[in-house]
Amino acid sequence: MKRRDFLGAGALVALSACSSSRKLPELPRLAAERGSMRWSVDLDGGGYGFAPAIVGDRVYAAGRDGTLARMALADGTVDWRVDVDVRLVTGVGAVPGLLAVADENGTLRVLDDDGALRWKAQLGAAAVSIPVLEADVWLVGGGANGGPASDALTGRRRGG
């Protein structure tokens, strides 16, 4: 087999490996009024890194000033709004029953679904990503070495 034929066969195998038999999920239909704003809620100083989180029929959002809010997805009705009394550096990470943000002092704050503080823990570095819950631990990217993992329910540090 010539080298060119060998490389061609290898490329064909590689490309066929990229194709999967898994079927992509159906995308939701867009509303007829797509592109128009249905509602808005003002939270001071959102911006880059402050995208809202949607869990079920609720939207959770944070503002840099320390304001957190939960709204109804359908119409924007504000269920509650709380102030954590410190500037935030990340948007909100949310899962059913829990939400988390990181503040300017390097503290991860986890609240329950009613907006009450459940626990807080020092990260040991400035947060650079929205908190994410993975396998019952909150993960927050921070600094050159990443960030610590904290138990979702207690806040105790897990791992290194």
Q: Which of residues 76 and 143 earns the better pLDDT score?
A: 76
pLDDT of residue 145: 44
Helical segments of 42-102, H only = none
- Has residue 88 got a pLDDT over 60? yes
pLDDT of residue 13: 39
Are 7 and 1 spatial neighbours (Cβ–Cβ below 8 Å)? no
Q: What is the pLDDT of residues 123-134, one digit of tens each?
A: 776 766 777 766
Least confident of 57-61, 72-76, 152-156: 152-156
Q: Which of residues 72 and 10 earns the better pLDDT score?
A: 72
Are 58 and 71 spatial neighbours (Cβ–Cβ below 8 Å)? yes
Q: What is the pLDDT of residues 102-131, one digit of tens each?
A: 888 888 888 999 999 998 888 776 766 777
Q: What is the pLDDT of residues 10-28, one digit of tens each?
A: 433 333 444 445 666 665 5
Alpha-carbon span 156 to 160, nearest angstrom: 12
Its pTM stands at: 0.67
Q: Which of residues 147 and 34 earns the better pLDDT score?
A: 34
| SS3 assignment, position 8 | helix
Nearest to 61 by CA among 96, 19, 90, 31: 90
Domains and CATH numbers, the chain: 41-158 (2.40.128.630)
